[in-house]
């Protein structure tokens, strides 16, 4: 993991701001998350978390479930922001996702940046790795933590290791 602060952070902060804008569109009842995929300084994919196809009739998270049977990353009915960003990049910029960086942002109810925490979503790590994303950037403690996909994947699995 590479910690980014200071001048280097100023260079990537605009990408986190774009991810925060995407998060503003999220309809998830648990968290407002957004992602952008950047390659060569340009946005090639963006996403936010909401039910599949943004169809509120597909929302099931307000129902009563035994969540002890589900892993942390799957406690929602929503499509993850990262998945939507990858799908958007693949649809609108085919062949360009390889070597890109995914910036992930979580915002609060006021639209302010909040910490993303440590890598834990094994589904997002596998999905972005398979798509060809090279790095995964998380906003934490007023700075950025940038992981190679191999690091992010390993840490996601370590989160659950006994």
Residue spans of the chain under pLDDT 50: none
Domain, as residue range, for 107: 2-160
135 contacts 39 by C-beta, under 8 angstroms: no
CATH number, domain with residue 17: 3.40.140.10
What is the pLDDT, as a whole number, of residue 78?
84
What is the pLDDT, as a whole number, of residue 29?
84
Query: Cα 51 to the chain's mean position, in Å?
Result: 15
What is the pLDDT, as a whole number, of residue 68?
66
Spatial CA neighbour of 99 closest among 126, 139, 131, 144? 131
What is the pLDDT, as a whole number, of residue 30?
84
Q: Can you give the pTM of this predicted structure? A: 0.91
136 contacts 119 by C-beta, under 8 angstroms: yes
């Amino acid at each position: 993991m590479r910690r980014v602060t200071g001048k280097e952070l100023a260079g990537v902060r605009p990408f986190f701001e774009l991810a925060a804008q995407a998060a503003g569109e999220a309809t998830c009842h648990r968290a407002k998350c957004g992602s952008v995929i950047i390659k060569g300084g340009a946005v090639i994919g963006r996403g936010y978390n909401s039910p599949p196809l943004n169809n509120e009739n597909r929302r099931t998270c307000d129902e009563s479930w035994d969540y002890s049977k589900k892993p942390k990353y799957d406690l929602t009915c929503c499509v993850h922001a990262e998945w939507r960003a990858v799908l958007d990049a693949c649809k609108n910029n085919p062949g360009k996702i390889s070597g890109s960086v995914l910036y992930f942002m979580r915002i609060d109810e006021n639209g302010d940046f909040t910490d993303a925490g440590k890598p834990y979503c094994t589904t997002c790590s596998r999905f972005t790795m398979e798509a060809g994303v090279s790095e995964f950037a998380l906003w934490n403690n007023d700075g950025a933590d940038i992981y190679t996909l191999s690091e992010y994947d390993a840490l996601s699995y370590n989160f659950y290791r006994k």
